[in-house]
Structure formats: structure tokens, C-alpha cells
Amino acid sequence: MGAEVLAISVDSPYSHKMWQEGELSKMVPGGVPYPMLSDPGGKIGRIYGVYDEDAGVDIRGRFLIDPEGVVQAMEVLAPAIGRNVVEMIRQVKACQHVRANPDEATPAGWEPGKKALTPQPGLAGKVCEIWAPEEAF
């Protein structure tokens, strides 16, 4: 998809290696195919607002950053809440569509092949004429 995935936590490279070999490789043959980076002390986590000072850990966050370094989407979840990889992939596709079509916007649930919106003053109050909430699902 032309996207780069990185995992970052306060855990040491040794912990990442053990997690990759002992757990992830059982779920994904060969383990996850992206780098797992160490953020000792939470410097990167602080920058992105996901470092928990009291616990000394980075809480789960996902950031979609465009090629210019601008955050286009973010999601922060409590540790007990599972993530949705399908939604992340949808958001990457939506971001790529909007970059390729700068005059368009993707409504909720947009997927390639679905209609995008063209924001303009005349669209205000008329979105319901071209998009309906059931299209988000």
C-alpha cells in the first residue's frame, strides 16, 4: 500500500525480540513484518501524548502520518480495547485517495469505489442528498 508501519513502546529491544519470537510468531508466521522500536523513558510517547507518566508506559496509540509528517488520523485506546486493522487499512486508503484527489473528502465508512464528497459552500445542508449514514457500514 506504500505505507510504512512501525511499532514503538518503552519496552527494550530484548523484550520486543522475546514478544516477537514467543508470541507474535505464533499468530503471524515469522512474526510481524515491521520494526518494533524502543522508546526508553517515553520521549516519543510524550510527543504523541500517549505516555502514561504514572505507569511509565506508552498507552496504545495509532497514528497515520502523511509523507510530509502531518498526522492525518489517530486513535488511542485503553489497553483492554482491541484494535481494528481493517479500519486502519481503510483509513490509509482514504488518506491516499484524498492526497491524489485534493478537492475531495471521504465520508464515514468510505471505501475505494464509493463516492467521495466535494466540499464547497453549496454542499452545506445538502450532504444528506448525496450521502446517507447507512453508507458508512
Domain boundaries, given as residue ranges, for the chain = 1-59, 82-137
Q: Would the CATH topology of 1-59 be identical to that of 82-137?
A: no
Distance CA 47, CA 123 (A): 37
Report pLDDT for 136: 83
Predicted TM-score (pTM) of the model is: 0.82
Tell me the fold of 1-59: Glutaredoxin (3.40.30)
Q: Are strands 36-38 and 7-9 parallel, antiparallel or unpaired?
A: parallel
Pick the CATH number of 82-137 from 1.10.4160, 2.60.40, 1.10.3470, 3.30.1020: 3.30.1020
User: How many beta carbons lie within 10 A of that of residue 27, not counting itself?
Assistant: 8
pLDDT tens, position by position, 95-106: 999 999 999 999
Report pLDDT for 133: 86
Residue 23, classed as helix, strand or coil, is helix
